[in-house]
Amino acid sequence: MGLVWARGQERTRRRAGVKVEFVDPRKAGVDRLEAAVRVCAWHYEQGRRVVLATGDKRLVGEADQRLWTFDPGSFVAHGVWQGRGELDEPVVVSAQIANPNRAQVLVSLVLPEGKEEEFSWVVVVLPEKQEELEPYRAYYKQMKSTEGVEVFYTQRLPSRM
């Protein structure tokens, strides 16, 4: 069974062992995209497949560039998903939430809203602006009260490799 979340309502389908992690880039002293790239790189280093969902086509190119230049001595192997088909890359950058590479981990700059069931670990990178946090707080509360979901809040990020 999978976990499904929709604004303002809890559904009955559940999936045991789903981790939902909230990352606060403000407390870590970096911008959202830097936080997302560091989290992606860490999961990649741990051998996990990852999707980085930017929620914005303009950010896909910047995320792609940052993953190539993440560490001067190496890069995070990845591809950019154009919205159709599958990719056989360990890390995929996409404007939308999807799972074209059969990833275990979703790192998202947008609320997953029902896509959690496709991943075993969901990392939500919080917005930097205080006025944009309210929907994320509501989502946090929803996940905290959902059976089978383990919720984390993170202020520290993995350092550059």
In a domain, 38, yes or no: yes
Residue 76 to residue 115: CA distance in whole angstroms? 24
Domain interval for residue 147 = 15-81+88-154
Q: Per residue in 60-98, pLDDT tens? A: 999 999 998 877 776 788 999 988 888 899 999 999 999
Listed residue (62, 35, 53, 61) closest to 101, CA to CA: 53
> Based on the structure, what is the number of domains in the chain?
1
Assigned domain for 1 exists = no
Q: Is the pTM value of this prediction over 0.85? A: yes
Q: Which two tokens stand for residue 57?
A: 């086509």
Q: Is residue 59 part of a domain?
A: yes
Dihedral-angle region of residue 142 (phi above 0 means left; psi in -120 to 50 means alpha; beta otherwise)? alpha
